[in-house]
Amino acid sequence: MNQESIPRSSRRRVMGLAASVFTAGAAGGSYAAPEPAAPQFSRNDSVFFDVTRFGAVPDGKTKNTAALQRAIDACSAAGGGTVFVPPGTFLSGPLRLVSNLVLYLEAGSAIQGSPDLADYDVPASEPGGRPRRSGLISATGLENVTITGRGAIDGNALAFVDRTKVHDAADWDRKYTRQKDDYPEGTVAGEAPYERLPRPGHLIRFTGCRNLLLSGVTIKNSPLYNVHFIRCQNVGVFGVFVSSLDSGRRVPNDDGIDISGCTNMRISGCNVQTTDDSIAVFDTRDLVVSNCTLESRSSALRVGYGADTDNGEIRDCLFANLALRGNRGICVNVRGPYSVEHVQFSNIAIRTRLHAGHYWGKAEPIHISAIPFSGPQRMGHIRDVRFSDIDAEGEQGVVICGCPESVIRDVSFLNMRLAITEGPLQKTWGGNFDFRGTRDLGKALFEHDIPAIYAGHVEGFDIQGLRVEWHGQLPSFFTHAIQVEHCRDIEIAGFRGKQAQANASAAAIAVNDGSGVTVRDCRAEEGTGTFLALHDVADQRLFVNNDLARARQATDPVQTDFQSTGNRLPGKR
């Protein structure tokens, strides 16, 4: 192929890009972990395949599936190279990538998915044995694949939804909610997700691949997951914009980046704005996500979920320097026999609010839960989950809830500001815990008072340096700053705060059915009623160096079994 058909400036950019993008993608905040060195791609940078030379027409109307695939196959026959997409919109059905390929989308270019469902074939099966239609771009068992440039890959999502209806599902029951028959989910429009129609598969899917790079491109308007990595190794995703903005962020299941069964992966400098989870992680280890902005009407960042038959383990993952907005900020879930352990979250800003529509979550900045998906079953665990330097504001509180079959172990918070804020949907949607998905509808979406932090069935719960703030006219179902139930080995140090303003009967800290409790170096804010309320608490250890001068009462009951010293008691100002 004559490379003179490519503009000289574009050739220079492409030839140097694959070798340099791994280190370039690492640029970001001062806390960014160094990115890995570039994989040694086996390629011939002097070979370019301009898709228009193979018959592709950039008019947004002509179906270019065959022409684009011819360019990709010619690249493969040459032993590798760059498939070049010039400016313009190239309509296409499913494309299959090849090894040793750089797919370069020039600024102003787009590969757009066909709006005709018949163009997407149904493979015999996919991982898990489920047949599903092809998406726009797929790669299976490949190595050394790059998708890069400043162009776009567009899934044409609005062709596969019914915009006259809103999506709902039978995964909840109105009778368990605080609002009962008045609970509005499934009936409202506004920002609710559209009803989904039969649709193509994941927009971009990599299965069983290694040495992968996504850089610079815009990936948008997917009718299902935008990008899905399945059992891949050595993956870099840098500076990518994943967007559902053109569809109003109302397309169900349009996850931004999903990661299943992968190892050695880095995501950095990305902006992901989707309806469903921005980044979702399953059965994966050695993952670093840093310097990203994530916004979702579900969870901005999800770690785990699974159903009763899923197995696997998530471990040794780091999430740092993130700005999160959504219906939920961070969600860590176990619903079956897999486990989540050794996961760290640091230097993260979280802003959440209630969203009207069928979205899992109720504005929790952080949600951690381990409950069965269906009936009695073997359960995995959540263990060693650490949060540090977190600034969170939300219209509901943090929830950490295990169960007798799966007690959550070793959860810690270091240096966190948590502000609970007034919102317009709190009375109609709030005052409920949301533990979907589970087939037990009584535990899926149900009425519960809302503390700033709730912990249940946790062993090893450590809070160091927490400030709780309450803003605005909050409903009376907001209660304690910290509520702990059915927990062991609890240490709360350096806490500053009080109960919610509208609930004088609540305590700043309430512990029920617990053991091994230490409360030290804390300070009651002005307006605190009872600072520490205890019920059925064994092994009361230390209650020391707490400034309770602004509280009405130090403890309830007044007589406790703590070793108590150095406390500044109520009235001693």
pLDDT, one tens digit per residue, over 378-395 is: 899 999 999 999 999 999
Residue that wins the pLDDT comparison between 478 and 13: 478
* Residue that has been written with the tokens 């599936």 in this structure: 65
The domains of the chain, with CATH numbers, are 1-162+199-276 (2.160.20.10)
Cβ burial of 462 (10 Å; 0-12, 13-18, 19+) is: middle
- At 417-472, the pLDDT tens digits run 999 999 999 999 999 999 999 999 999 999 999 999 999 999 999 999 999 999 99
- Give me the pLDDT at residue 127, please: 56
Q: How many other CB atoms sit within 10 Å of the CB of residue 443?
A: 17
Mean confidence (pLDDT) of the chain: 91
- At 161-185, the pLDDT tens digits run 999 999 999 999 999 999 999 999 8
- At 176-221, the pLDDT tens digits run 999 999 999 877 777 899 999 999 999 999 999 999 999 999 999 9
Q: 95 Cβ partners below 8 Å, 6+ apart? A: 65, 68, 69, 72, 111, 136, 137, 138
Confidence of residue 33 (pLDDT cuts 50, 70, 90): very low
> For a pLDDT cut of 90, what percent of the chain falls above it?
84
- Token pair of 365, please? 């900045």
Nearest to 417 by CA among 388, 386, 381, 439: 388
pTM of the model: 0.91
CA distances from 30 to 36, 287, 290 (A): 17, 19, 11
Give the phi and the psi of residue 141 in degrees, each rounded to 5: 65, 30
First to last CA, the chain: 84
